[in-house]
């Protein structure tokens, strides 16, 4: 026990002599990063289960005996539950609260990330970028600051990059969600006009949705993708009402939610879909004009600050500058 304590004391003294008073702290952080790097391959590794070979053989239609099972069956499912990767870390990365998991899954879906591993990838990126930039900040502190830096400077060098890396994926997802919602909101009136033309030409609502998704793909790819998902789900046999409600939930735009409500009510009461689309399309065009007028009305207020910053100071310098100069000359001469 005494030898262990003496060894720890000598190690502590060596770290202080080599890296300064904060040497033990640096060694602890480096040891932590080393342990994380060593534990990651072990956590990602999953032992082979014999039942998995049995299930693969049953799907391939061959016998389950080891001597008869071929080396490569050539079958590859779209989603393989035995695949290695973030799926093995999902219990550690994904939130265990069902409400929180549903909220982040809905947010990622509205941002355009619909894969099964979207939530796991999101939390993994937050952790990886946070730790990675934390290490970069630590290296930058070692190189640039030196031994004369204070604790406050070390915290600034290390924690600020870590916070940027940790909050970066959240900012990216939020920004992408806003851009997609703005594109859907901007292109929805044009899509309704095209849908009205298709319905009045004799096409059904499903055919009109598919045709609109093809026509607006160049101008509004996000809205075209949503309409294409609706058309494919209806073609697959899913209930149209549930498909439309899922679309409203995926988009998260009030105009789309109102449009879905109008279509559901029109189907429930047996009214003409063309009449409903005509009335709602005219309302959407008026709403788009009102949004444009609102942005135009807020423009003078936004320009006031820029005008004060870039116009008033030069004007004051031109008007008051000569007088100030003359006063300083008089005071200096006196």
Note the pLDDT of residue 65: 44
Q: What's the token pair of residue 316?
A: 């004051």
- pLDDT at position 73: 42
Give the Cβ contact number of residue 259 at 10 Å.
Answer: 25
Would the pTM count as exceeding 0.85? no
pLDDT value of position 80: 47
| Continuous segment of H or E residues that includes residue 53 | helix 50-60
Among residues 220, 136, 132, 235, which one has the least CA distance to residue 181? 220
Segments making up each domain of the chain, as ranges: 184-297
* Per-residue model confidence as pLDDT tens for the chain (334 residues): 566 556 666 776 776 676 666 666 677 777 777 766 766 665 555 555 555 555 565 555 544 444 444 444 444 444 444 445 566 666 666 777 788 888 888 899 888 888 888 888 888 888 888 888 888 887 777 776 655 667 777 777 778 888 888 899 999 999 999 999 999 988 888 888 899 999 988 888 888 989 999 988 888 899 999 999 999 998 888 888 899 899 989 888 888 898 889 888 888 888 888 888 888 888 888 888 888 888 888 888 888 887 888 888 888 888 888 888 888 888 876 5
Return d(Cα 143, Cα 158) in angstroms, integer.
12
pLDDT at position 177: 92
- Produce one character per residue of 49-60: b if its CB has 16 or more CB atoms within 10 Å, e if not: eeeeeeebbeee
What's the rounded Cα separation, in Å, for the pair 274 and 279? 9
- Cα separation, 99 vs 121, in Å, equals 19
């Amino acid at each position: 026990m005494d030898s262990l304590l003496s060894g720890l004391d000598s190690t502590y003294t060596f770290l202080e002599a080599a890296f300064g008073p904060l040497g033990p702290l640096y060694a602890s952080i480096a040891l932590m990063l080393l342990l994380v790097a060593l534990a990651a391959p072990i956590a990602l590794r999953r032992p082979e289960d014999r039942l998995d070979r049995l299930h693969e053989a049953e799907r391939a239609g061959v016998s389950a005996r080891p001597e008869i099972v071929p080396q490569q069956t050539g079958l590859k499912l779209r989603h393989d539950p035995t695949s290695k990767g973030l799926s093995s870390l999902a219990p550690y990365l994904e939130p265990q609260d069902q409400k929180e998991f549903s909220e982040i899954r809905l947010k990622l879906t509205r941002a355009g990330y619909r894969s099964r591993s979207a939530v796991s990838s999101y939390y993994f990126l937050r952790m990886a970028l946070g730790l990675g930039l934390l290490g970069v900040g630590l290296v930058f502190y070692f190189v640039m600051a030196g031994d004369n830096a204070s604790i406050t400077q070390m915290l600034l060098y290390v924690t600020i990059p870590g916070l940027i890396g940790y909050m970066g994926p959240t900012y990216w997802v939020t920004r992408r969600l806003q851009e997609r919602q703005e594109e859907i909101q901007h292109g929805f009136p044009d899509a309704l006009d095209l849908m009205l033309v298709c319905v009045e030409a004799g096409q059904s609502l499903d055919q009109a949705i598919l045709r609109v998704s093809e026509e607006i793909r160049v101008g509004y790819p996000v809205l075209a993708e949503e309409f294409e998902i609706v058309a494919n789900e209806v073609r697959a046999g899913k209930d149209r009402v549930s498909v439309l409600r899922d679309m409203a939930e995926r988009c998260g735009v009030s105009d789309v939610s109102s449009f879905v409500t109008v279509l559901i009510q029109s189907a429930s009461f047996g009214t003409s879909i063309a009449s409903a689309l005509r009335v709602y399309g005219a309302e959407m065009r008026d709403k788009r004009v009102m949004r444009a007028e609102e942005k135009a009305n807020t423009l003078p207020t936004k320009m006031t600050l820029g005008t004060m910053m870039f116009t008033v100071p030069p004007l004051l310098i031109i008007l008051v500058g000569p007088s100030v100069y003359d006063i300083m000359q008089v005071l200096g001469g006196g």
